[in-house]
Amino acid sequence: MHSPHDAPRATERRHAYADSATSGRVCPRSGRRIDPPAEPTSQHHNTPFWERWITRNTVIAGLLALAWLVFRTGTKPSRVVYPCQQAAISTANLAFGTALVAGILATRRRAVSWFRSPIALTGLIAGVVVFIAAQAYFSEAKEYTGPVLDPPRDYRAELVHVTNCPEDPAGDRFLGIDNLLLTLGQQGTKLLDADSVTPFAGPGGIIGSDDVVLIKINYQWTERGGTNMDVLRGLVRRIVDHPDGFVGEIVIVENAQFVSIDGFNRSANNAQDQGLSPHDIVLEFQQQGVNISHYDWTAIRFTSVGEYSDGNMNDGYVVYPVETDVNGRPSYPKFQTDAGTYISLKNGVWDPGSETYSKENFRFINLPVLKSHHAVYGATVSVKHYMGLVTRELSTNSHSAIRYGILGRVLSEIGLADLNILDAIWINADPYTGPGTSYAGATRRNELVAALDPVALDIWAVKNILIPGFESNGYSPPWPSPSADPDDPSSSFRTYLDNSMNQLLDAGYPVTNDLAQIDVVESRGDLGDFDGNGTVDESDRLAFAGCFTGEGGGPLDSGCVAGDFDRDDDVDCDDWKYFREVWTEAGTPGDIPDCDTTNLPGDIPDQATQLLGARPNPMTDSTTLHFVLGSPQDVTMRVYDASGRNVRTLVLGARPAGENTLTWDGRDDRGNTAPRGTYTFALDAGERMTGKIVVR
pLDDT higher than threshold 50 for residue 28: no
As a whole number of angstroms, the distance between CA 658 and CA 656 comes to 7
Residue 613: left if φ>0, alpha if ψ -120 to 50, beta else—which one? left
- The Cα-based distances of 169 to 420, 428, 535, 628 in angstroms read 21, 21, 7, 37
Q: Which residues contact 423 (CB under 8 A, 6 or more apart)?
A: 227, 228, 231, 367, 368, 369, 370, 448
Query: Contact, 665 vs 629, CB < 8 A?
Result: no
Question: Inter-axis angle of helices 229-240 and 278-286, to 10 degrees?
Answer: 20
pLDDT for the residue numbered 320: 98
Q: Report the share of the chain in percent with pLDDT over 70.
A: 78
Centroid of chain to Cα 13: 74
pLDDT for the residue numbered 2: 41
pLDDT higher than threshold 50 for residue 18: no
Q: Report the share of the chain in percent with pLDDT over 90.
A: 60
Confidence of residue 554 (pLDDT cuts 50, 70, 90): confident
DSSP helix/strand/coil, 519: strand
As a whole number of angstroms, the distance between CA 694 and CA 159 comes to 16
Walk across the sheet containing 677-685 and list its strands.
646-655, 633-640, 677-685, 687-695
Q: Residue 447's closest CA among 514, 386, 526?
A: 526
Predicted confidence (pLDDT) per residue in 49-71, tens digit: 544 444 444 445 445 555 555 55
As a whole number of angstroms, the distance between CA 244 and CA 195 comes to 8
Please tell me what DSSP assigns to residue 272: S
Half-sphere exposure of 289 (CA within 13 A, CB side): 4
As a whole number of angstroms, the distance between CA 526 and CA 175 comes to 6
User: Environment class of residue 498 by beta-carbon count within 10 Å: exposed (0-12), middle (13-18) or buried (19+)?
Assistant: buried
As a whole number of angstroms, the distance between CA 663 and CA 615 comes to 9
Half-sphere exposure of 292 (CA within 13 A, CB side): 24
Peptide bond into 151 cis (omega under 30): no
Neighbours of 252 (CB within 10 A): 25
Confidence of residue 541 (pLDDT cuts 50, 70, 90): very high
Q: Which helix (H) or strand (E) holds 239?
A: helix 229-240
pLDDT for the residue numbered 621: 83
As a whole number of angstroms, the distance between CA 511 and CA 556 comes to 37
Q: Residue 249's closest CA among 233, 236, 232?
A: 236
- What dihedral angle (degrees, nearest 10) is formed by the CA atoms of 344, 345, 349, 354? -40
DSSP helix/strand/coil, 324: coil
Q: Which residues contact 326 (CB under 8 A, 6 or more apart)?
A: 146, 401, 404, 405, 406, 409, 499, 503
Q: Give the pairing type, strands 677-685 and 687-695.
A: antiparallel
| Beta bridge partner(s), residue 212 | 249, 362
| Beta bridge partner(s), residue 366 | 216, 420
Which string of b and e fits 547-569 if b means at least 16 CB within 10 Å?
bbbeeeeeebeeebbbbbbbeee
Query: Contact, 369 vs 427, CB < 8 A?
Result: yes
pLDDT for the residue numbered 652: 77
pTM: 0.75
Predicted confidence (pLDDT) per residue in 471-509, tens digit: 999 999 999 999 999 999 999 999 999 999 999 999 999
Supply the DSSP string of 88-154, one letter for each residue: HHHHHHHHHHHHHHHHHHHTGGGHHHHHH-HHHHHHHHHHHHHHHHHHHHHTPPPPP-S---PPPTT
Q: Give the pairing type, strands 362-366 and 419-428.
A: parallel
Predicted confidence (pLDDT) per residue in 584-616, tens digit: 999 889 888 778 655 544 444 444 678 888 888
pLDDT for the residue numbered 135: 42
